[in-house]
């Protein structure tokens, strides 16, 4: 029987920075010009296969450590996290704030970055979540926070605007729901070095991508450097996975 790993879909939002400059336009801004540095504003998390949405926000810097403690526990429990551009942004930003507050590392987890996946398997006009959720017509298309367009949302957050915080929450939650929909579309295209959500005991009767249990369709043997192995494709999600060695 296949066993599902604990998979956490995750998205964070951070504040902007306030800096001191003498003029507008393109220029180099140095660290000593920072008046107020960025911090974690909020995060949304969701366990794959579970309908419950976990959302936490830190409206002041005093409460940031408190939500980071809860986020640390989620990461510590996860076997795999799913993000959109999280390898570059989310994971490193979370680590920066955890280190700042003196946390130790959570237990190791694997990272399933959808931006990395879509760039490797397809050449869309754009690989942003906003573009893909609209292009592929998923239910949860990335919100445009129209009440506070562009940077204004972050500016109003700094002022403590309650309506801006409500819009940030909706924006953050929708990102995770849309990201999860994209995962289901692209998962069968993922190369074999991407983490498998399901642990398999028999590659001929189990799918590590979607958890299907049944006879896999057998393809032609594929030659590696030193041996041949059978290829199998899942009749449920269409993903391919290597099988046993053959002579």
Which CATH number is 220's domain given? 2.20.25
Q: Both tokens of residue 19?
A: 């800096």
What integer pLDDT is reported at residue 16 of this predicted model?
Answer: 94
- Residues 159-163: contacts with CB within 8 Å, 24+ apart? 160/59
Lowest model confidence (mean pLDDT) among 84-93, 113-122, 197-206:
197-206
Do 182 and 239 fall within a single domain? Answer: no
Helix axes 162-186, 114-121, angle to 10 degrees: 40
Q: What pairs with residue 106 in β-bridges? A: none
Is 123 domain-assigned? yes
Is 74 domain-assigned? yes
Is 25 domain-assigned? no
Residue pair 82/8 in contact by the 8 Å Cβ criterion: yes
Q: Both tokens of residue 245?
A: 């060695």
Other CB atoms closer than 10 Å to residue 98's CB: what's the count? 20
Do 121 and 220 fall within a single domain? Answer: no
Which CATH number is 99's domain given? 3.30.420.10
* Neighbour-count burial of 82, counting CB atoms closer than 10 A to its CB (0-12 exposed, 13-18 middle, 19+ buried): buried
Do 136 and 74 fall within a single domain? Answer: yes
Q: What pairs with residue 241 in β-bridges? A: 232
pLDDT at 48 over 80: yes
Do 205 and 98 fall within a single domain? Answer: no
pLDDT at 207 over 70: yes
pLDDT class for 224, splitting at 50, 70, 90?
Answer: low
The domain containing residue 120 runs over which residues?
3-19+35-189
Residue pair 20/30 in contact by the 8 Å Cβ criterion: no
* Mean pLDDT computed over every residue of the chain: 92
* Average pLDDT, integer, range 82-101: 98
Is 172 domain-assigned? yes
| Domains held by the chain: number | 2
* Spatial distance between the Cα atoms of 21 and 9, rounded to a whole number of angstroms: 38
Residue pair 87/13 in contact by the 8 Å Cβ criterion: no
Strands (E) located in 144-216: 198-199
Do 57 and 179 fall within a single domain? Answer: yes
* Spatial distance between the Cα atoms of 143 and 9, rounded to a whole number of angstroms: 18
In this predicted model, what pLDDT tens digit does every residue of 178-188 receive, in sequence order?
Answer: 999 999 999 99
* Spatial distance between the Cα atoms of 226 and 13, rounded to a whole number of angstroms: 47
- For the entire predicted model, the pTM comes to 0.90
Phi, psi of 121 (to 5 degrees): -105, -15
Q: Express as a percent the part of the chain with pLDDT over 70.
A: 95
What integer pLDDT is reported at residue 232 of this predicted model?
Answer: 84
What integer pLDDT is reported at residue 25 of this predicted model?
Answer: 93
Is 52 domain-assigned? yes
pLDDT at 147 over 90: no
Do 39 and 158 fall within a single domain? Answer: yes
pLDDT class for 225, splitting at 50, 70, 90?
Answer: low
pLDDT at 246 over 70: no
Do 61 and 121 fall within a single domain? Answer: yes
What integer pLDDT is reported at residue 170 of this predicted model?
Answer: 95
Do 98 and 212 fall within a single domain? Answer: no
Q: Both tokens of residue 31?
A: 């660290």
Is 27 domain-assigned? no
What integer pLDDT is reported at residue 231 of this predicted model?
Answer: 83
* Spatial distance between the Cα atoms of 218 and 214, rounded to a whole number of angstroms: 12
pLDDT class for 247, splitting at 50, 70, 90?
Answer: low
Do 221 and 182 fall within a single domain? Answer: no
* Spatial distance between the Cα atoms of 168 and 12, rounded to a whole number of angstroms: 11
Lowest model confidence (mean pLDDT) among 31-35, 92-96, 126-130, 141-145:
141-145
């Amino acid at each position: 029987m296949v066993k599902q790993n604990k998979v956490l879909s995750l998205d964070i939002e951070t504040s902007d920075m306030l800096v001191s400059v003498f003029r507008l336009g393109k220029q180099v801004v140095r660290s000593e010009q920072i008046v107020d540095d960025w911090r974690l504003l909020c995060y949304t998390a969701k366990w794959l296969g579970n309908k419950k949405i976990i959302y936490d926000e830190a409206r002041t810097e005093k409460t940031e450590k408190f939500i980071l403690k809860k986020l640390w526990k989620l990461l510590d429990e996860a076997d795999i996290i799913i993000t959109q551009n999280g390898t570059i942004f989310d994971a490193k930003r979370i680590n920066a704030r955890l280190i700042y507050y003196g946390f130790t590392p959570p237990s190791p987890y694997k990272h399933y970055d959808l931006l990395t996946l879509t760039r490797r398997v397809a050449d869309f006009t754009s690989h942003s979540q906003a573009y893909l959720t609209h292009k592929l017509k998923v239910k949860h298309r990335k919100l445009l926070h129209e009440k506070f367009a562009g940077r204004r949302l972050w500016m109003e957050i700094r002022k403590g605007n309650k309506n801006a915080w409500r819009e940030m929450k909706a924006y953050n939650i929708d990102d995770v729901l849309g990201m999860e929909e994209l995962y289901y579309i692209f998962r069968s295209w993922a190369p074999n070095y991407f983490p498998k959500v399901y642990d398999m005991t028999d590659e001929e009767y189990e799918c590590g991508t979607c958890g299907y249990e049944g006879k896999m369709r057998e393809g032609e043997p594929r030659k590696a450097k030193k041996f041949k192995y059978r290829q199998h494709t899942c009749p449920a999600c269409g993903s391919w996975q290597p099988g046993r060695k053959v002579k």
